[in-house]
Chain A
Amino acid sequence: MGRITLENVQKKFGDVEVIPPLNLTIEDGEFVVFVGPSGCGKSTLLRLIAGLEDVTGGEIRIDGKPATDLPPAKRGLAMVFQSYALYPHMSVRKNIAFPMKMAGMDQAEQDRRIAKAATALNLTDYLDRRPGQLSGGQRQRVAIGRAIVREPAAFLFDEPLSNLDAALRVGMRMEISELHKSLETTMIYVTHDQVEAMTMADKIVVLRAGHIEQVGSPLELYKAPRNVFVAGFIGSPKMNLLAGAHADRHDCATMGIRPEHLDVVDGGGTFSGRVGIAEHLGSDTFFHVHVDGISEPMTVRAGGEIGLTHGDTIHLEPQADKIHRFDAQGLRIA
């Protein structure tokens, strides 16, 4: 079981309020991703849940039991660090066994769980090596192995894939997702990468300056961002956000249209401009279009076969039902 509730949880470092009072419930078995730009307090929030930082105010409950004043060791949570944080002086086997040794588990059970984790994580051949002799991906797997053998109430991941190269990252992303499917244990995952958030999460928590901007499933956030910040942060490439005359026409302060919801038309169209940079990915083409009267270039996602290049004129028409409207405070207008 791993239901985690935060009630008015607050954190100050000296006079600086990193997390203003905040409420959040994480259901048992959920995969929750905390996402936001760097410095938004997502890691701090995770460390508060872990117990590595003390809260300034508020209450943390794990499975209904107060955990606010419990040391990390007593919370029954496991954590995977960005730096892996393996014990360099211990073999892989001893690294994985460490939490069980601390719990005083008997040796036979320890061996059984190590064997099981090693098989699941492809580490069987490396059990007697030191972390220093492993690759980045293998180290990350050892860190995950060390976390799963304890059968914790919840897993906490602090940007676990940031130190891996791009190809490995995609692979590990899927491994962690599969792990969640098979263990059905609560996972809280911190990342600044919205692609990781979208692909892995059951529930995304978007944070900015310690505030929760929106909580929802990836598609909810994609389809109905609650404000301009979430609209700009979720989705890749970024949503085009326009103010001024274009927004006025839709009776709002800011209008938003995602690159994939702009159709390239032969003539006319709401927006006409010149192609700046064209990124040909094969399956898709991203055009950065300079439209008169709009300072930032607009991004358009078009099919892979469109042969427009730098300097060509392009006509764009937004899909009417996909336009997002925001008021002067930046909040969504339904």
Chain B
Amino acid sequence: MARAITTRKKIMWTALSWGIGLLIFFPILWTFLTSFKSEATAIADPPVWFLFDWTTVNYTDVLERSNYPLALTNSIIIALGSTLLGIIIAVPAAWAMAFVPGKRTKDVLLWMLSTKMLPAVGVLYPLVLIAKYFGILDSRILMVVILMLINLPIIVWMLYTYFREIPVDILEAARMDGANLKSEILYVLTPMALPGIASTILLNIILAWNEAFWTILLTTVSAAPLTKFIASFSAPEGLFYAKLSAASMMAIAPILIMGWFSQKQLVRGLTFGAVK
């Protein structure tokens, strides 16, 4: 029997969903509003909501005072580069773990995940020394490699989960049909796991884009991405809420737009395999 849904219940649930949605969205909305206020209105108490003199001066100020295009370029290169590199490494790894598991495969997977529990500061100093030794401090290549390594466990785990959903019979059929390992992965496994791979890529781009600890600590100018760009507005001259908000909006806008367009794919990917 279908569960009876009364109009009253419907209204209640709708209101609740909107309430939660708005609560989560509120900080972004507030940042958005503040970015169009003057510095004085930004810190006004009680806060002003919509009825203030909307101004774009913060945006022009931010663009004048700092190199937004460079930070944006760096963010794009680091996010895409680390994701691409991670996928190239993780696909064969996940393939091996899903289809030719050994005695220790489960342990390896858990060990990989356990690296995410390590306090990042613990490896900061050695990493700085290594980077310095190779002369790649504040370089894009360093950031690409580090963010790839940081997110690799998640990429491998996600791909492993998706690959496990693929019947091994089909891969064996490909082998019988004369496919070598490369063709098997290229023509059979990848197309079948494409929804999973796509959401792994999307999620990883978001994670890399938002990563702040390593990007802020290991870059100064030339490789500094948008996270560093935001941070630079909070430190030396005291807090300028309106400008900080404008910088934040400019930093999150690209990823927010990307997330908006790909939300269907993201949700589908994250729940992939949950329903057969």
User: A residues touching B (Cβ–Cβ < 8 Å)?
Assistant: 50-52, 71-73, 77-79, 81-83, 85-89, 98-99, 102-103, 146, 150, 156
A52–B178 touching, CB < 8 Å: no
Taking the closest CB of chain B, its distance from the CB of A201, in whole angstroms, is 22
Task: Let me know if B191 is at the binding interface, CB within 8 A.
Answer: yes
A residues less than 8 Å from B177 (CB atoms): 73, 78, 98-99, 102, 146, 150
User: Which of A51, A83, A102, A146: most chain B CB closer than 10 A?
Assistant: A102
Note all chain A residues with C-beta closer than 8 A to B180: 71, 73
Judging by beta carbons under 8 Å apart, are A72 and B167 in contact? no
| Closest chain A residue, CB of each to CB of B179 | A102
Listed by A's residue number, 10 A-B pairs whose Cβ atoms lie within 8 Å are A78-B177, A79-B176, A81-B169, A81-B172, A85-B169, A85-B172, A88-B170, A88-B192, A99-B177, A150-B177
Fill in one digit per residue for B168-196: 1 if any A CB lies within 8 Å of its CB, else 0: 01101111111110010001100110100
Task: Choose among B169, B174, B178, B187 the residue that contacts A150 (Cβ–Cβ < 8 A).
Answer: B178
Docked complex Cα distance between A73 and B173 (Å)? 10
What 1/0 flags go to B126-156 for Cβ under 8 Å of A?
0000000000000000000000000000000
Are A85 and B173 within 8 A (Cβ)?
yes
List 20 additional A-B contacts (Cβ < 8 Å) besides A72-B175, A86-B173.
A51-B175, A72-B172, A73-B177, A78-B176, A81-B169, A81-B172, A83-B169, A85-B172, A86-B170, A87-B170, A87-B173, A88-B170, A89-B192, A98-B179, A99-B177, A102-B177, A102-B178, A102-B183, A150-B178, A156-B176
Question: Closest residue to B192 on the A side, CB-wise?
Answer: A89
| A79 CA to B172 CA, complexed, in Å | 9
Minimum CB–CB distance from B131 to chain A (whole Å) comes to 43
Cα distance A102–B176 when bound, in Å? 10
**CA gap between A52 and B192 in the complex, in Å:** 21
List chain B residues, Cβ under 8 A from A79: 172-173, 176
**Cα(A267)–Cα(B224), bound, Å:** 104
Closest-CB distance, B175 to chain A (whole angstroms)? 4
B191–A73 touching, CB < 8 Å: no
Once A73-B180, A83-B167, A89-B191 are accepted as A-B contacts, the answer to whether A52 and B172 lie under 8 Å apart by CB is yes
Q: CB-nearest residue of chain B relative to A76?
A: B178
| Chain A to chain B: the 3 pairs with minimum beta-carbon distance, closest first | A102-B178, A85-B173, A99-B177
Report A144 CB to chain B, min CB distance, Å.
12
How distant is B58 from chain A, measured CB to nearest CB, in Å?
Answer: 49
CA distance A86 to B173 in the complex (A): 8
Tell me, rounded to whole Å, the shortest Cβ–Cβ distance linking A331 to chain B. Answer: 38
Are the CB atoms of A73 and B175 closer together than 8 Å? Answer: yes
B185 to chain A, nearest CB (A): 13
Quick check: B188 and A87 within 8 Å, CB to CB?
Answer: yes
- Please state if A71 and B172 are interface contacts (CB–CB under 8 Å): no
Closest to A149 in B: B177
Cα(A150)–Cα(B177), bound, Å: 8
**Residues of chain A within 8 A of B176, CB atoms compared:** 50, 52, 72-73, 77-79, 156
Inter-chain contacts of B191 with A (CB < 8 A): 89
Q: Which chain A positions have C-beta within 8 A of B187? A: 98
Question: Measured between alpha carbons, how far is A87 from B194 in the docked complex, in Å?
Answer: 14
Q: How many angstroms between the C-alpha atoms of A71 and B174 in the bound complex?
A: 12
**B-chain residues with CB within 8 Å of residue A81 when the two chains form the complex:** 169, 172-173
A50's closest neighbor in chain B, by CB?
B176
- Bound-state Cα–Cα, A224 to B191, Å: 53
> Which residues from A are CB-within-8-Å of B179?
73, 98, 102
Q: Are A85 and B167 in contact (CB under 8 A)?
A: yes
The CA of A88 and the CA of B172, in the complex, are separated in Å by 14
Q: A81-B172, A88-B192 are in contact. Are A99 and B167 (CB under 8 A)?
A: no
In the bound complex, residues from chain A placing their C-beta under 8 Å from that of B170 are: 85-88
In the complex, A88→B192 CA distance in Å? 8
Q: How far is the CA of A81 from the CA of B169 in the complex (A)?
A: 7
